[in-house]
Amino acid sequence: MTSQTFLNGGISAVLQAIPEQFRPQRSTLLYGGLLINTELAALLLYLVTSDTEVNSVFAVVYPFIWINLGLWAVVRTHPTPRTRRHHYLASSVAVGYFLLLIVLGGLVWTAEPQLPLGIDIEMLSPGIGPVVSYNGPFLRLTLVPFLTIGYLSLAYLVYATLIDVAGSAIGSVIGLFSCPSCVWPLIAPIFIGVFGSAGTTTIASFQSHVTGTAIFVLSIVVLYWRPLARAR
C-alpha cells in the first residue's frame, strides 16, 4: 500500500465518521477554498498597505470565522415551509430576532448629535471593515461586515428551525422555546455586541474576541444541527 493510498483511505475514513449534515461537499470545498484564498489576499494587501500592527493572528482572522461559518450554514440549510402561514410566522420571528441582535449588538442606536449627518466609511481590517456608518436625525446605523453577516446567518437558521419544528403556526414557536438546546443560541449572541467588536473604532480585548467567536460558533452549530427537529 502506497503512502498516497493510505492517506486517501485515512481522509475517507475521517469524512465517513463526520455526521452527514456536517460532511463537506465537493462544491463547498471548492468555493470555500476560493473564498478563503480571496480573504487571505485581501488581508495581506491591507496589512502591507496600512500601518496596522498585528499583535495576534486571531485578532485579524476571527471575523472570517464568522463570515465563512455563517455562509456555510446558510448554503447548507434548505428549509421547506409546509404552508404560507408557517413561512410568514417563521419569517416574522426571524426578522424580529435579527433586529434584536443588531440593536443589542450596537449596530443600530439613537443618533449622535455631535457627529455630522450622513454616511461615513472607515477602512479597518478586512472582515471588521470596511465599516459603513450612517448617522441620521433619529438613529445611527453601523454595518460591520462580520457582525452583519453573522447575525443574518443566525436569523436565517432561526427561520429554518421554526420551519422544521412546525406542527402548527403557534405550536412551532412553543416547540422551539421548549427546547433548551434551541433557546440558548437565540439568547447568547445578544451578548456578543457587549463582549465583541460592534463599534466603528472600538477594538475589544483578545479575550472578548475569543468569547464572542466561541458563542457564535456554538450558536451556529446548534441551530444548524437543530436537535429539536431531529428528535421529532
3-class state of residue 231 by DSSP: helix
Q: State how far the Cα of 211 lies from the Cα of 82, in Å rounded to an integer.
A: 37
Mean pLDDT of the chain: 75
Residue 4: is its pLDDT beyond 80? no
Least confident of 119-123, 220-224, 228-232: 228-232
CA distance 75 to 47: 30
Distances in Å between the alpha carbon of 229 and those of 72, 154, 163?
20, 17, 9
Cβ–Cβ < 8 Å for 35, 113: no
* Confidence bin at 156 (pLDDT 50/70/90): very high
Q: Locate the domains of the chain by residue range.
A: 51-231
* Residues 100-125: b if buried by 16+ CB within 10 A, e if exposed: bbbebbbbbbeeeeeeeeeeeeeebb
Average pLDDT of the segment spanning 168-177 = 50
- Average of per-residue pLDDT across 94-122: 84
Q: Say what the pTM is.
A: 0.77
